Structure 1
């Protein structure tokens, strides 16, 4: 059996951060009554057959020691706030001009300029290594965590246990992420009860879920440890590597401005839920879609985009391959456009005198 229950000494800053969390309990700041309720709602394997079966599976398929996993899950706490958040009925879908206001603020743009200046050498090296523009990397981190300010407040172990064992609609997905997290902790020498993340178990500057962390996080400073919580160098390299792995094309455009004069029903791929870049530009032209910025060949595959920029006022773009790549980070056209426009705003502000 393999031992994963140790605190790494590879990274002093990360060790200090985790140790501080262990001492302060900052991940679980609860009132006494709420604390008592949480203490009762743990995942003691003897009281939870599903947890006991999960531990058996981890031992059988991934060579974990059940004697280490049993006390770990006995310490894991059910978080009702997470179930409430993920089960909350969806609010009305935001229009683009509403969504844009959330992320393209002066404070986020200026903080992005500062982040680029403070990490100029690392961003330049990431761009050279992976082919991803420094402003795109910066914008991703800016949208995800406001450049590291908002990385989450839940223990990852609690979040993933709660969702894996108490949220049937997506239990399969989060069970897989719990497996990935425990393997990640073993690989990286982490104490799995300490890392902090979002209510869905996303971690670090770039909010990687455990499977993405294992697949795409990189040791970009050469210290033999992948730290995306406290190390901006590793975080920057990891975001860039994610984009390269999803086939980012260096030097190519992301979107082009366009105009549309026709029936939207003639271009069903203009629907905001459609995320493929598979429509030949010539077919879009036949439906009345025309780029007004740059030029596209008739055979170029694109995604026609139609966003409401004010009440009953629309703007159009041609989304290209790199726009699709951004949607691999978050499966949303609105998200991808926010990242792109924030990146352009940061780049422009950085050049301003």
Structure 2
């Protein structure tokens, strides 16, 4: 977007606090970016409950991404020594020419404004009622419908191949960068250099991403000094970090390159591939509005993983409302309780909801993406025989 408290913290950081992305991945003081994924701290159940029975296994996830070692990130060491350790680390891990890494690194410039931005105090925590209108408004919905209409053929091809409906790809781009209009103004090399060597709390992550940036330049033949993005180093319409680009970027048009800055086929295919790699289920439900029984106790799951069988949640007093999607007996859900415009809302997040939280670890982000996708689809006449299908609710 979690169980991982270290290397998945990139498009990974604590984001249970529901901030307004600006656009979601790159412009928040507390981003931790995976494609832009964020890390949710564990939360305990607030009340004793009926015996659960066995929980379901968590959704398998890709391997952890490397973090830079202490020789690179320990602020007690002289910076010149840490930079030389970084050159050795990046060159050794990714088979890079040390002299080339050193030359590229010499072009980086420390930017105090980047440290200031990522260090600034957290925004006021927003309720779902305050958060939802940021993305569920006429401009964002109509913009998404227009974007889908303009790129329908390419988006539907990706949807048919991947099983990720086109409207979810569009919604991610809409939430992250307002359909490609706001992708970030910082030089990525400067952002990652600054945060790797000047921001100790996240230096292991950003040092790892800086090394991945140089590896990406080698992989794709990119001049890394020319790349721009968010102050945290996220790039392109989908706001991919370097490691996400390298791991899940996809050549969508068969030209032999993975261009996530200017090639729309590659951008669409890469966002879909990110979802698939993190467990997207073709045709699967995403989320269901839930009813709470009058006598039900409060329940706050300690994970966004859909590990709770629906029967166990029903014993607690939480069931899908009539007409809402359900999942098979061997699948499960997690429970969300949000303060909406009309009062308390309860939602059951299924496997595909969890996958959206791998892009950004905030459950409000995932629900906003889902609802924006549904609004885009509602105003876009689907083609006949849509191979990807449209998950419910």
Which segments of 5 or more consecutive residues in structure 2 lack a partner in the other structure? 1-77, 383-393
Which sits farther off after the overlay, 87-96 or 148-157? 87-96
Aligned residue number for residue 327 of structure 1: 357
In structure 2, C-alpha distance between the alignment counterparts of 1:245 and 1:57, rounded to whole Å: 27
Q: Could you tell me whether the CA contact under 8 Å between 1:116 and 1:135 is conserved in 2?
A: yes
In structure 1, C-alpha distance between the alignment counterparts of 2:328 and 2:79, rounded to whole Å: 63
Which segments of 5 or more consecutive residues in structure 1 lack a partner in the other structure? 1-45
Deviations 1:39-73 (A, max 9, x none): xxxxxxx9722112211333344343333333322
In structure 2, C-alpha distance between the alignment counterparts of 1:253 and 1:62, rounded to whole Å: 39
From 213, 216, 232, the equivalent of 2:264 is 232
TM-score using structure 2 length = 0.73
Q: Could you tell me whether the CA contact under 8 Å between 1:155 and 1:196 is conserved in 2?
A: yes
Deviations 1:153-202 (A, max 9, x none): 11110010011111111100111111111000011011111111111111
Runs ≥4 residues deviating over 6 A: none
1:162-181 to 2 correspondence within 5 Å? 162-181=194-213
Once the 2 structures are TM-superposed, how far is the Cα of residue 300 of structure 1 from its aligned partner? 3.9
Aligned residue number for residue 347 of structure 2: 317
Aligned residue number for residue 281 of structure 1: 310
In structure 2, C-alpha distance between the alignment counterparts of 1:300 and 1:185, rounded to whole Å: 41
CA spacing shift, 1:62–1:323, aligned 2, 3 Å = closer
Structure 1 or 2: more helix by fraction: 1
Count of aligned pairs between the two proteins: 303
Q: Does 2:256 match 1:256?
A: no
Deviations 1:257-296 (A, max 9, x none): 2111356754221xxx731211111121122212112445
1:199-214 to 2 correspondence within 5 Å? 199-214=231-246
CA spacing shift, 1:220–1:284, aligned 2, 3 Å = same
CA spacing shift, 1:70–1:113, aligned 2, 3 Å = same
Aligned residue number for residue 377 of structure 2: 347
- The structure number with the bigger radius of gyration is 1
CA spacing shift, 1:225–1:290, aligned 2, 3 Å = same
CA spacing shift, 1:187–1:266, aligned 2, 3 Å = same
In structure 2, C-alpha distance between the alignment counterparts of 1:62 and 1:301, rounded to whole Å: 39
Q: Could you tell me whether the CA contact under 8 Å between 2:191 and 2:232 is conserved in 1?
A: yes
Supply the RMSD in Å over aligned alpha carbons: 1.9
From 147, 151, 164, the equivalent of 1:119 is 151
TM-score using structure 1 length = 0.81
